[in-house]
């Protein structure tokens, strides 16, 4: 019995862990309103609003719906909206901030053909968007 278990145990350590596909790069949000730049931030992955593409009548948008009144004047362009993403073995998990509503959600990011699947979740209810590579 030992002769069988020992080789199986050694093989289990030699098997590579499943890893999520890299998500770093520049992504055009659904609806083409902005470009998000995703990159390494130390040991995790984060994402910032690199560029606002849809003009607003009041000028550049600010984080006016932030629950913290002290942060409501900061510009949305440059704002970190993807925070603390770690490779979860097939996808990336962290949090996403929605400046249009001032809410933060658990988030799952996954590469898929032609783009990036972006989910924001409350408990087990999720809404998804498809972001395309930005040129």
Nearest CA-CA partner of 100 in 40, 31, 21: 31
- Alpha-carbon distance of 116 to 112, in angstroms, equals 6
Strands of the chain, DSSP E: 25-28, 34-41, 44-52, 80-87, 92-98, 103-112, 115-122, 125-133
Confidence of residue 17 (pLDDT cuts 50, 70, 90): low
pLDDT in tens, 68-83: 999 999 999 999 999 9
CATH architecture of residue range(s) 19-133: Beta Barrel (2.40)
| Strand-pair partners of 62 | 75
* Residue-level pLDDT at 3: 58
Sequence-ordered strand ranges (E) for 11-102: 25-28, 34-41, 44-52, 80-87, 92-98
Between 29 and 14, name the one with better pLDDT.
29
Pair of tokens at residue 52 = 């606002």
Structural tokens at position 82: 């993807």
Residue 101 pairs in a beta bridge with none
How far is Cα 20 from Cα 95, in angstroms, rounded to an integer?
17
**For residue 88, what pLDDT band results from cuts at 50, 70 and 90?**
very high
d(C-alpha 92, C-alpha 19), whole Å: 9
């Amino acid at each position: 019995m030992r002769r069988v278990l020992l080789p199986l145990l050694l093989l289990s350590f030699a098997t590579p862990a499943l890893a999520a596909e890299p998500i770093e790069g520049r992504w055009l949000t659904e609806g083409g309103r902005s470009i998000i730049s995703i990159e390494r931030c130390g040991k995790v992955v984060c994402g910032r609003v690199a560029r606002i593409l849809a003009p607003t009548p009041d000028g550049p948008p600010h984080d006016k719906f932030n629950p913290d009144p002290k942060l409501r004047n900061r510009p949305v362009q440059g704002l970190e909206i993807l925070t603390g993403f770690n490779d979860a073995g097939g996808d990336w998990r962290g949090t996403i901030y929605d400046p249009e509503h001032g809410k933060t959600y658990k988030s799952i990011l996954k590469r898929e053909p032609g783009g990036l699947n972006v989910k924001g979740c409350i408990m087990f209810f999720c809404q998804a968007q498809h972001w395309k590579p930005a040129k």
